[in-house]
């Protein structure tokens, strides 16, 4: 969501941060369930699963990098949206 005034809207920032955490947990859970169900070898042989793995990994790593008290977002919002809307589970 692009909003030039988001820094001044604390309630919207809070909601978006909460939703970001929820969706991140859902994608991590999806990945863990697929690895458990398919097994690591079969999971990594599917291109869609590779995409899931890369998106989840980059997303989770980007949460842990900080520069001048601001998180570096390594994964564009468009890529996350395309992943969530682009294919069924």
Name which of 57, 49, 68, 15 is nearest 3 in CA terms: 15
Q: What is the pTM of this model?
A: 0.60
pLDDT reported for residue 36: 93
CA distance 89 to 77: 19
pLDDT reported for residue 63: 63
Domain spans, the chain:
6-86
The stretches in the chain having pLDDT less than 70 are: 1-3, 62-89
Phi then psi for 75, rounded to 5 degrees?
-120, 110
């Amino acid at each position: 969501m692009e909003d030039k005034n988001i820094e001044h809207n604390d309630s919207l920032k809070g909601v978006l941060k909460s939703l970001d955490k929820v969706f991140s947990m859902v994608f991590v859970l999806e990945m863990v369930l697929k690895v458990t169900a398919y097994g690591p070898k079969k999971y990594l042989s599917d291109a869609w699963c590779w995409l899931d793995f890369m998106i989840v990994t980059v997303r989770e790593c980007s949460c842990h990098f900080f520069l001048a008290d601001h998180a570096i977002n390594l994964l564009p919002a468009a890529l996350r949206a395309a992943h969530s809307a682009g294919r069924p589970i």
